Amino acid sequence: MLNVVYAEIIKLKHTKIYWLILVALIPVCLWSLMAVSPKVGPDGTIVPLDLQELFYRQGMIVTILGPLLFSLMTGYVVAREYQERTINQLFSYPVSRVSFLFVKLLVVWILISITSILSFLIVVSSTLFVIHQLDLTTVLLGLKMNLLICVLSFGTIPVAAAISMVWKSVIPTAVLGGGVSLIAAICELGHSMDVILFPWLTPYWPVRDLAQGLAEMGPNPYVIPALVILIVTFVVSLGFCIFYYTRADVHSGT
Amino acid sequence: MNYVLQTHQLTKQYGSHAIVSDLNMNVKAGDIYGFLGQNGAGKTTTLRMLIGLIRPTSGEFELFQESFHGNRIKALERIGAIIEYPGFYLNLSAVENLEIHRRLMGIGNQESIDEVLTTVGLFDVKKQKVKHYSLGMKQRLGIARALLHRPELLILDEPTNGLDPGAIREVRELFLKLAKQRGITFIISSHLLSEMEQVANRIGIIHKGRLLEEIDDKTLQQKTRRFLEMKVDDDQRAAYVLEQKLKVTDYQVAGTGILRIYECLDQTDLVNKTLTDQNIGVKEIVLSRENLEDYFLKLTGGDKLA
């Protein structure tokens, strides 16, 4: 199984997929730069750097761009086998098709994690650079938020995978991701608690928990139904992927 | 008999349209089996079924004397294949592509990559990205990949597509060498009769999804008749003279000015003299034999290969 994982990782060498991670990191870097620059309050005093606020904004950036970027990553990993006509070869290896599917999803999860963790590290390192100290409790809150983003963002990945394998192209997945990112941006800027019911916005739940000064504060009452919806989305779409990947005839490499 | 592959009533249908019907194919160990048919005859669909890319609608098959159904993984470990087009990750080099194959086939020996690249003549460009390869180079890399794990059975779908005549000859010699030295069994599909004639020791002829005949090279020799082919200046008069003077009845006009006589094969001088005596110009007489193409045309009722 390790060989299958390693083979899947080799396939990403010299690809532009890493640029997608960079696309998410650039806004985080810019935001960090802006946030660490000295600010003057209304009374003329310097406002101290707020690490929690930094993490909140970083989480927002990742959860708004995530649907687009993570869909593109999934689309690329799954659909390229059809587009580059390597699917014939892939399915003639003595490895079950389900193993290939799981490994591809694992690789997407690794890419999501790299995106999230790197953006977390940017926030931490830029804070260290400015004030040379860290509040460990807030850092742990930020880490927890990012880990939850990784897990919750993965919930909708099988949907993108299913679309990629049925259409055998990355374009429908990109359209889906772009549309959802737009919805995410509108919803997250509204700061409403119930937006997390939309499965692609469930990762906003741990982000919103770090927000300060919003009209609605406290524990989010929609967490349980949101998680149920996300799990159902995950299970149903993964089930479809397994069925499609294992049952479908492979024709002409497309 | 040690069969590497046997299919039983193998059928693939899409709706009411049968692509492959009741195919009974038998490939023995060590065979170079030429799978011959026109484009669209059902060759690729059959080969896809054999490596599990598509499911048969009905029928079954055995690879290495075990049912493929339920033994897919075990069977695929012993097979190398190129189906239709040798697909590669274009962003990677030849070595990296073969490294993926090596890992997925669970081969420990990394040196085997250099070995197969040398065999197919790509060692010097092994670090070049595959996107810069020509179709012929990709075909050769496909063959290298199919050989890397030392398979017992190679299934190759039109393996000489895109190769220049020199490379076709090299590949043909490679197949013959591998069959002889390593005892690899080959199933090679093609619509090129001449190619099959030169490499295959058994030929299966598929037409409109049905396997019309399986024939080995010796039987083919026996079934294909010898004849005298003559180029004359007036085929009508020549035919008349042959009938009247030499009582020849088994002949055919194979084209303008071309006669094929299936009698008097050892009387070339008499045939020549009889015709020239009647002032019929004879430009050429050659003793020849029907080839695979003639045989194919007879079997398929005259449908030429694409």
| Structure confidence at residue B305 (pLDDT) | 53
Q: Does domain B225-289 have CATH number 3.40.50?
A: no
pLDDT above 80 for A136: yes
Task: Report how many Cβ contacts below 8 Å link chain A to chain B.
Answer: 83
Task: Determine whether the interchain pair B54/A6 forms a contact, defined as Cβ–Cβ distance below 8 Å.
Answer: no
Pick from A101-115, A182-196, B252-266: least confident: B252-266
Q: Where are the domains of chain A?
A: 2-37+46-247
Q: DSSP label at B265? A: T
Q: Give the pLDDT score at B4.
A: 93
Residue-wise pLDDT for A12-43, tens only, equals 998 888 888 888 788 877 877 777 677 777 77
Q: Which among B92, B100, B103 is the nearest to A14, CB-wise?
A: B92
Strand duo B258-261 + B226-232: pairing: antiparallel
Q: Is residue B36 over pLDDT 60?
A: yes
Residue A166 CA neighbour count, 13 Å, CB half: 14
- Identify the residue whose tokens are 């049925």: A166
pLDDT tens-digit series, residues B128-176? 999 999 888 888 899 899 999 889 999 999 888 777 888 888 888 888 8
> Least CB-CB distance to B92: which of A6, A13, A88?
A13
Q: How confident is the model at residue B180 (pLDDT cuts 50, 70, 90)?
A: confident
Segment A138-160 mean pLDDT: 95
Output the pLDDT for position B165.
84
How much is the average pLDDT of B51-64? 93
Task: Show which of residues 77-96 on chain A sit within 8 Å of chain B, judged by CB atoms.
Answer: 84-89, 91-96
Q: Would you say residue B303 has pLDDT above 70?
A: no
ipTM of the complex: 0.85
Q: What part of A 8-37 touches B (C-beta under 8 Å)?
A: 10-11, 13-15
Amino acid at B246: L
Measured between alpha carbons, how far is B123 from B144 in angstroms, rounded to an integer? 11
Q: How far is CA A128 from CA A59, A75, A124, A210, in A?
A: 19, 36, 6, 20
Q: Specify the pLDDT at position A237.
A: 97
What is d(CA A1, CA B103) in angstroms, rounded to the nearest whole number? 10
Average pLDDT, chain A: 89
Q: How far apart are CA B78 and CA B63, in angstroms?
A: 9
Domains B3-222 and B225-289 share a fold: no
Q: Where are the domains of chain B?
A: 3-222, 225-289
Residues in chain B: 306
**How confident is the model at residue B1, as a pLDDT?**
67
Whole-angstrom Cα distance, residue A235 to residue B97? 33
Cβ–Cβ < 8 Å for A25, A69: no
The strand pairing partners of B282, in sequence order, are B232
Spell out the alpha helix ranges (H) of B183-229.
193-199, 217-223
Q: For residues A142 and B183, what is the distance between their CA atoms, to the nearest angstrom?
A: 62
- Cα separations (Å) of B280 from A16, B236, B248, B255, B303? 75, 10, 16, 17, 34
Nearest chain A residue to B99, by CA: A7
Q: Is B51 on the interface with A (CB under 8 A)?
A: yes
Q: What is the pLDDT of residues A230-247, one digit of tens each?
A: 999 999 999 999 999 988
| H-only helix segments in A84-200 | 87-90, 97-131, 136-154, 157-167, 171-190
B66 φψ region: left (φ > 0), alpha (ψ -120 to 50), beta (else): beta
Distance from CA of A245 to the nearest CA of B (A): 11
Q: Closest chain A residue to B129 measured between Cα atoms?
A: A14
Q: How many angstroms separate the CA atoms of A245 and A237, rounded? A: 12
Per-residue pLDDT at B295 exceeds 90: no
Give mean pLDDT, residues B123-132: 92
A104 touches chain B (CB under 8 A): no
Ordered DSSP codes for B14-59: ETTEEEEEEE--EEETT-EEEEE--TTSSHHHHHHHHTTSS--SEE
On whether the CB atoms of residues B38 and B303 are closer than 8 A, the answer is: yes
Confidence band of A253 (pLDDT split at 50, 70, 90): very low
- E strand spans, B64-115: 66-67, 79-82
**Number of residues written out for chain A:** 254
Please give the sequence-ordered ranges of beta strands (E in DSSP) within chain B, or none if there are none: 3-14, 17-23, 26-28, 32-36, 58-63, 66-67, 79-82, 153-157, 185-190, 202-207, 210-216, 226-232, 251-255, 258-261, 282-289
Shortest CB distance from A13 goes to which of B91, B105, B106?
B91
Q: Region A181-198: what's the mean pLDDT?
A: 91
Separation of alpha carbons A5 and A104, rounded Å: 8
DSSP symbol at B303: P
| Residue B220 clears pLDDT 90, i.e. is over it | no
The rounded percent of chain B whose pLDDT value lies above 90 is: 40
**What does the block give as tokens for B243?**
């009938």
Least confident of A36-45, A193-202, B115-124: A36-45
Tokens of B214: 């399986």
Which residues, listed in sequence order, are joined to residue B252 by a DSSP beta bridge? B260
Q: Choose between B54 and B166: higher pLDDT.
A: B54
Interchain contact, A3 vs B92, CB within 8 Å: no
Task: Say which amino acid occupies A110.
Answer: I
Is B108 in the A-facing interface, judged by CB distances under 8 Å? Answer: no
Taking residues B96-120, report their average pLDDT. 89
| CB B125 within 8 Å of CB B95 | no
CATH number 3.40.1160.10 given to B3-222: no
What CA–CA distance (Å, rounded) separates A55 from A41?
Answer: 21
Task: With beta carbons less than 8 A apart as the criterion, state whether B108 and B75 touch.
Answer: no
More confident residue, A40 or B259: B259
A180 — pLDDT class (breaks 50, 70, 90): very high
Q: What is the pLDDT of residue B302?
A: 64
- pLDDT of B104 reads 93
- Cβ–Cβ gap B53/A91 under 8 Å: yes
Q: What is the mean pLDDT of residues B270-287?
A: 89
pLDDT score of B306 more than 60: no
Picking from A14, A84, A249, the nearest residue to B55 by CB comes out as A249
The pLDDT score that the predictor gives to residue A254 is 45
Minimal C-alpha gap between A78 and chain B (Å): 13
Percent pLDDT > 70 in chain A is 98
- Angle subtended at Cα B182 by Cα B180 and Cα B188, rounded to the nearest 5 degrees: 70
Identify the bridge partners of residue B214 per DSSP, sorted by sequence position: B204
Taking the CA atoms of chain A, what radius of gyration do you get in angstroms?
Answer: 20
Amino acid at A174: A
pLDDT given at position B139: 86
- For residue B229, the cross-strand partners are B260, B286
More confident residue, A113 or A45: A113
Identify which of A185, A175, A202, A179 has the alpha carbon closest to the alpha carbon of residue A64. Answer: A185
What whole-number distance in Å separates Cα of residue B90 and Cα of residue A85? 10
